[in-house]
Amino acid sequence: MSDLPHISRQFSQRSVMEAIVQGGPISRASISKQTGLSKQTISEIVRGLEQEGWVQETGRTSGHVGRTAVTYELVHDAAYIVAVDLGGTKVRVALTDLACQIFAEAATPTDPRGGQFVVDQITTLVFQAAARQRVPRKKIRLAVVGVPGAPDPSTGRILLAPNIADFDTMNVLDAFEKALGVAVMVENDVNLAVLGENWLGQGQGIDNLAYVALGTGVGSGLILGGHLVRGATHAAGEIGFMPIGADPFAEESLRTGAFERTVATHAMTERYQSLSGKQVAVPAIFENAALGDKDADAVLDETARYLAQGVAAIAAIANPEKIILGGSIGLRPEILSRVKALLPRCFPYLVTVEASELGSRAALIGAAAIGLGQLHNTLFGVDAPDGRISLPPTQAAALKQAVL
Amino acid sequence: MSDLPHISRQFSQRSVMEAIVQGGPISRASISKQTGLSKQTISEIVRGLEQEGWVQETGRTSGHVGRTAVTYELVHDAAYIVAVDLGGTKVRVALTDLACQIFAEAATPTDPRGGQFVVDQITTLVFQAAARQRVPRKKIRLAVVGVPGAPDPSTGRILLAPNIADFDTMNVLDAFEKALGVAVMVENDVNLAVLGENWLGQGQGIDNLAYVALGTGVGSGLILGGHLVRGATHAAGEIGFMPIGADPFAEESLRTGAFERTVATHAMTERYQSLSGKQVAVPAIFENAALGDKDADAVLDETARYLAQGVAAIAAIANPEKIILGGSIGLRPEILSRVKALLPRCFPYLVTVEASELGSRAALIGAAAIGLGQLHNTLFGVDAPDGRISLPPTQAAALKQAVL
DNA sequence: AATAAGTTCGGTCACAGAACGAATTAATTG
DNA sequence: CAATTAATTCGTTCTGTGACCGAACTTATT
């Protein structure tokens, strides 16, 4: 229960930092106006931040009436964070500086042996990228790793992660912390995707937002009331188990959920095979549909029909303002247009449905978001506990562009 | 985003108040130990609270070694709040003092004319109760009204409230504030029910909790990550529209949701009629089932089977630790036992399902919870923005017992 | 004698606010 | 047109003030 002794200082420092991050080069007088704190206080706080190496003088204003002002800016390379999006087939790694600029980005196929091999693979990738950009390891303060599955914070294991071997039995958090030598946060990849879209994508400023990723599996991430929803066992968003589509009481639905069995990759290929007799992969189904294949078209219709129901269930329970579709299947415009048409026919209230703008990089950007938020919080005082720091538009644009 | 000037004082004051509320009669030295603040500071804060009339001396300790201590306690009647649970058929009203003790409680059938009539009816009820208990109106600081439907805070109207006439077109919030002459909070009744269970019922201390009310309609309330989920348009929990049971693409499902049409009262009576040919009300179906009526038994099985699916959908999306069943149908043990048996057969992870302990008073207690929390926040400083203040067990027990 | 309660008396820290000096542009005047 | 004055804005210094802490001390009790 005991409060921190000097909470007010932290609050002020945080808002001064925020003004500097957003306001680019900014004078102390302007910060004072923005924050409502006195000029005196701003000078003190900025002096402190400058001494600790977080901000620096960058120039003077001119052209205005009155005395010129000294402007201050972030020291971009004062700290770095690592963002990792670990998928079943691909790993993406990014290095971001304090000013939220991506410094280096790399991607490779995931080591199929899983477990410690993947941890080592990522570690190598990170250190290579750091070396290439001459980023000293000491300045890396935090790593955020997105994984498919439900990370259990008490044991460090990742439950429900069938795609990466051993992650459900080893302490993944510890392994990463030992290998990288920095604090690590492990988070579900779809949760990071919502955070990413909420920060820089289609869900900016939307406090009630859902992200539905549809590909090999299904998953969803929810931001409600401005907070990321994780659930009791960090398994919120495991919508594959919704009782929609296949018979939920079938034995098999306890292993692979009913909803996943009717909308994910496997369901589409099977459905196409039962209609046409041909066994083709999902991308080919989309191609065939575009070429006028009736069976392929029917498969897309059917998939969208169930997906719309899944979206309706989320909307009924959580009432998000917007639902963003992602994942290899969810990103396809053929699916989006169908869902948009079908949703109003099975759900009465307005819900915006859109395709993910950040696409496959949503989770990576979400990892950066949560990491930068966390870093700013620990360094400059608590504000919003869950991620989300505001960025100036220029830097946001830079983040959205893929380096690789 | 200018901060409040003396935020730290508010924090400390709040925790001192909390210690006094929970610790019953307590000495300043004990408060100091509990809160971690110095004895000196506690003396100052308590002096302030005493001057403003919130706390008072009540006695001295004795029996211990050392000097006796002066003990302080809440001034119970320093402020009152009104809790209202407005249902389609019944209104419940309660008056609660600062120490969370219910002072008066009353219930009557809801005025069927709806609109202003209901507002006036409630106002009369409240003022009668206040007069009976000699509670001066000036000491009533806040009223919390639970309504069936989705209150729109911008217009003060209640959407999706078919059971009370005119509430979807008039400014209900304003009407109540004018009639009662105090600040009013209007909240969905099922949301209040979760808060109630979270505060004093089966969901105490559970940060991820769901409440499913099943009766004439269906609704759910969600607490996720410790926060009440309201959704973008305050329509979260309108689970009647989940695409489960009836065909969600049927025209009718846009008016009365597919799920509501398969599990609520109307569905049960219809199902029983189609099986047995007899037209009886829901309570009679339960009676018949108890007497061995196969048809009635089948109706219960079927209802529970779909309810279990609805519960599974909530669990898949939001991953609550516990789901509490309420409402006239949800409270029945025949339904609970069936759902408990069926859920593990359609959903793989552990979710506790229980019947509401507070029963039909859950919403009323939730209203008290949110009101007292709000009151403590505004008077003694911000802590938790959403309700939930902790209570000593004795007072909690008193609150749970119905006066009426 | 030991112990606990409560007060008094400094002292610190994070601010606010007023006053003031410094720097700059805009307007006015000889 | 240059010089002077006015108007502005930046940033510092100085003097509070409120919310705390800690040590020393008094008082009351077993």
CA distance B211 to chain A (A): 12
Nearest to B231 among A208, A259, A345 (CB): A208
Q: What's residue A390's pLDDT? A: 67
Arithmetic mean of pLDDT, B1-12: 49
Arithmetic mean of pLDDT, B32-48: 91
Q: What's residue B163's pLDDT? A: 81
Contacts of B3 in chain A (CB under 8 A): 8, 11-12, 15, 36-37
Q: What's residue B66's pLDDT? A: 83
Place of tokens 């196409």: A272
Contacts of A220 in chain B (CB under 8 A): 317
- B395: in domain: no
Residues B367, B272 share a domain: no
Looking up residue B130, the CATH number of its domain turns out to be 3.30.420.40
Q: Give yes or no for CB of B45 within 7 Å of strand D.
A: yes
Contacts of B7 in chain A (CB under 8 A): 7-8, 11
Residue B385 in this model has a pLDDT that exceeds 60: no
Neighbours of A187 (CB within 10 A): 25
Range of the domain at B226: 203-356
- B239: in domain: yes
Positions 66-105 in A, CB within 7 angstroms of strand C? 66-68
Whether B225 sits inside 8 A of A229 (CB atoms) is yes
Q: What's residue B11's pLDDT? A: 76
Residues B66, B40 share a domain: yes
Residues A323, A220 share a domain: yes
Q: What's residue A294's pLDDT? A: 94
Whether A314 sits inside 8 A of B309 (CB atoms) is no
Contacts of B319 in chain A (CB under 8 A): 230-238
Of the pLDDT bands very low, low, confident and very high (cuts 50, 70, 90), residue B2 is: very low
Convert B86-117 to b/e letters by CB count within 10 Å (16 or more is b).
bbbeebbbbbbbbbbbbbbbbbeebbeebbee
Residues B214, B118 share a domain: no
Residues A211, A181 share a domain: no
- A391: in domain: no
Within 7 Å of a protein beta carbon, the nucleotides of strand C are: 2-10, 13-19, 21-26
Residue B214 in this model has a pLDDT that exceeds 70: yes
Contacts of A345 in chain B (CB under 8 A): 249, 254
- A393: in domain: no
Output the six-digit token pair for A34: 């923005």
| Interface test with chain A among B22, B220, B224, by most A beta carbons within 10 Å | B224
Positions 62-101 in A, CB within 7 angstroms of strand D? 64-70
Q: Which residues contact A313 (CB under 8 A, 6 or more apart)?
A: A239, A242, A244, B242, B243, B244, B313, B317
Closest nucleotide (C1' vs CA) to B27 is C5
Residue B4 in this model has a pLDDT that exceeds 60: no
Residues A176, A211 share a domain: no
Percent of chain B having pLDDT more than 70? 92
Closest residue to C16 (CA, C1′): A38
Whether B1 sits inside 8 A of A15 (CB atoms) is yes
Q: What's residue B401's pLDDT? A: 63
Nearest to A236 among B1, B227, B318 (CB): B318
For residue B268, how far is the Cα from the chain centroid? 27
The nearest alpha carbon in chain A to B313 belongs to A242
Tens-digit pLDDT profile for residues B269-297: 999 999 999 999 999 999 999 999 999 99
Arithmetic mean of pLDDT, B350-359: 93
CA distance B166 to chain A (A): 20
Q: Which residues contact A85 (CB under 8 A, 6 or more apart)?
A: A91, A92, A93, A146, A189, A192, A361, A363, A364, A367
Residues B229, B351 share a domain: yes
Tens-digit pLDDT profile for residues B342-351: 999 999 999 9
Output the six-digit token pair for A151: 């990370």
Q: What's residue A291's pLDDT? A: 95
Q: What's residue B323's pLDDT? A: 98
| Whether B200 contacts B358, CB under 8 Å | yes
Closest residue to C25 (CA, C1′): A65
CA distance A123 to chain B (A): 32
Q: Give yes or no for CB of B39 within 7 Å of strand C.
A: yes
Whether A349 sits inside 8 A of B8 (CB atoms) is no
- B399: in domain: no
- A15: in domain: yes
Rg (CA), chain B: 23
Q: Give yes or no for CB of A6 within 7 Å of strand D.
A: no
| Whether B181 contacts B294, CB under 8 Å | no
Q: What's residue B295's pLDDT? A: 95
Q: What's residue B392's pLDDT? A: 62
Whether B242 sits inside 8 A of A7 (CB atoms) is no
Residues B219, B183 share a domain: no
- B164: in domain: yes
CA distance A265 to chain B (A): 20
Residues B68, B98 share a domain: no
Positions 10-49 in A, CB within 7 angstroms of strand D? 27-30, 39-40, 43
Average pLDDT, chain B: 89
Q: Nearest 10 degrees: CA dihedral of B182, B185, B188, B192?
A: -90
| Whether B319 contacts A231, CB under 8 Å | yes
The Cα–Cα gap between A262 and A302 comes to 9
Give the containing element (helix H, strand E) for A211.
strand A209-214
- B392: in domain: no
Q: Give yes or no for CB of B134 within 7 Å of strand D.
A: no
| Whether B159 contacts B167, CB under 8 Å | no
Whether B249 sits inside 8 A of A346 (CB atoms) is yes
Residues A137, A35 share a domain: no
Arithmetic mean of pLDDT, B220-249: 95
The Cα–Cα gap between A356 and A332 comes to 10
Lowest mean pLDDT among A216-230, B159-173, B242-256, B369-383: B369-383
CA distance B243 to chain A (A): 6
> Chains A and B: how many Cβ contacts under 8 Å?
192
Full-model pTM: 0.90
CA distance B212 to chain A (A): 11
The Cα–Cα gap between A376 and A372 comes to 6
Residues B208, B266 share a domain: yes
Place of tokens 């390891």: A137
Interatomic distance B329 CA / C9 C1' (Å): 67
Whether B12 sits inside 8 A of A3 (CB atoms) is yes
Closest nucleotide (C1' vs CA) to A8 is C14
Residues B25, B66 share a domain: yes
Looking up residue A10, the CATH number of its domain turns out to be 1.10.10.10
Q: What's residue A189's pLDDT? A: 94
Whether B312 sits inside 8 A of A241 (CB atoms) is yes
Nearest to B309 among A225, A248, A314 (CB): A248
Domain count, chain A: 3
User: What string of pLDDT tens digits covers the 404 residues of chain A?
Assistant: 333 334 455 678 888 988 898 887 899 999 999 888 999 999 999 998 998 889 999 888 877 888 888 999 999 889 999 999 998 889 999 999 888 788 788 889 999 998 999 999 999 999 999 999 899 999 999 999 999 999 998 999 998 777 888 899 999 999 999 999 999 999 999 999 999 999 888 999 899 999 999 999 999 999 999 999 999 999 999 999 999 999 999 999 999 999 999 999 999 999 999 999 999 999 999 999 999 999 999 999 999 999 999 999 999 999 999 999 999 999 999 999 999 999 999 999 999 999 998 888 899 999 998 998 888 888 887 655 555 666 665 566 666 665 54
The Cα–Cα gap between A232 and B36 comes to 31
For residue B306, how far is the Cα from the chain centroid? 25
